[in-house]
């Protein structure tokens, strides 16, 4: 079982809709969770970090963490074509200083 798993997509949503991106992880002891956005040909950009169970909101982005079920999700409200990118989930597995990255989910927001 891979340590951090994401559906590769693509996930296609219409403009204005809510995009829901999901990530599961294998290590129950993981404490730090991150979402990165990567545009084609660019480097990953940190958009959210979450450490406690529940929801964390930042503008149009909401990260949701459920440690009991070992998943973390990212909701993007009022999706825009400019949100079209690959979203990477990263988890500090096993107390490591270094996050383990998932393969990413490609999101396409069409007008």
Partner 1 sequence: KAGVTQTPRYLIKTRGQQVTLSCSPISGHRSVSWYQQTPGQGLQFLFEYFSETQRNKGNFPGRFSGRQFSNSRSEMNVSTLELGDSALYLCASSLGGQFNSYEQYFGPGTRLTVT
DSSP letters, the chain, are --SEEE----EEEETTSPEEEEEEES-TT---EEEEEE-TTS--EEEEEE-SSEEEEETTEEEEEETTTTEEEEEESS--GGG-EEEEEEE-GGG-SSPEE---EEEEEE-
Is residue 98 within the footprint of partner 1 (CB under 8 A)? yes
Per-residue binding letters, 23-42, with partner 1 (x by CB under 8 A): ---------x-x-x-----x
Return the range that interacts with partner 1 (CB under 8 A); candidates 15-23, 61-69, 73-81, 100-108: 100-108
Is residue 2 within the footprint of partner 1 (CB under 8 A)? no
Is residue 80 within the footprint of partner 1 (CB under 8 A)? no
Q: For the CB of residue 27, give the shortest distance to partner 1 in the complex, in Å.
A: 14
Tell me which residues touch partner 1 (CB under 8 A): 32, 34, 36, 42-46, 49, 88, 90, 92, 96-101, 103-104
């Amino acid at each position: 079982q891979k340590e951090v798993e994401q559906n590769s997509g693509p996930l296609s949503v219409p403009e204005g809709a809510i995009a829901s991106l999901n990530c599961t992880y294998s290590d129950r002891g993981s404490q730090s969770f991150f979402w990165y956005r990567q545009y084609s040909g660019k480097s990953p950009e940190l958009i959210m970090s979450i450490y406690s169970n529940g929801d964390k909101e930042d503008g149009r982005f909401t990260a949701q963490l459920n440690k009991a079920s070992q998943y973390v999700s990212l909701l993007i409200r009022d999706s825009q074509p400019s949100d079209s990118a690959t979203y990477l989930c990263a988890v500090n597995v096993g107390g490591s200083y270094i996050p383990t990255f998932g393969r990413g989910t490609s999101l396409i927001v069409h007008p």
